[in-house]
Amino acid sequence: MKRNDWFLAAGILAAAAILFCFQIFGNSGDQAVVSISVDGALYGTYSLEEDRTVKIDETNRLEISGGTVKMDWADCPDQVCVNHRSISRNGESIICLPNRVVVSIENGESGEVDGIAR
C-alpha cells in the first residue's frame, strides 16, 4: 500500500469511530419526544412524559399516553395509521399517507433486536 492509501484508511477509520461515539453517547440525558410533520413541514414536538391528545389539521388525532403514541382517529379511507400499534422507541414512526402526516419518536429508548434479526 502506498502512503496515500494509509491516509485514506486512517480517515475512514477515524470517521467511523466518531460516528460510533455519537451513536453511543449522543442520546444520553435527552427526553423522548414525539415529532409530527405534515406535508414535510414540522407541525409540532411533544414530550412522551405528558399525556395529551393532539389534533392535526382536522384530519388526524394523536393520543400520547403512558409513554406511548397511537393514532387515535383519521379521516383517511384505509385507516392503516389508526390500526398501527402504539410506538415508544427511538426511530419508530406512524405514517398516514393520504393526509401526509408522519409521527416519529426521537431520543427514545433503544429497541431490542427481535427474533428475526438475531
What confidence tens digit (pLDDT) does each residue in 59-93 have?
999 999 998 999 999 999 999 999 999 999 988 99
CA Rg value for the chain: 19
24-31 long-range Cβ contacts below 8 angstroms, 24+ apart: 27/90, 27/107, 30/107, 31/107
Closest CA to 45 of 54, 55, 36: 36
Is-above-0.85 flag for pTM?
no
Spatial contact of 64 and 105, defined as CB atoms under 8 Å apart: no
pLDDT in tens, the chain (118 residues): 788 899 999 999 999 999 888 777 765 556 889 999 999 999 999 999 999 999 998 999 999 999 899 999 999 999 999 999 999 998 899 999 999 999 999 876 665 555 565 5
Give the per-residue pLDDT at 116: 61
Give the per-residue pLDDT at 74: 95
Name residues whose C-beta falls within 8 Å of residue 50's C-beta, 6 or more positions apart in sequence. 64
Closest CA to 48 of 65, 73, 62: 65
Give the per-residue pLDDT at 22: 75
- The number of residues making up the chain comes to 118
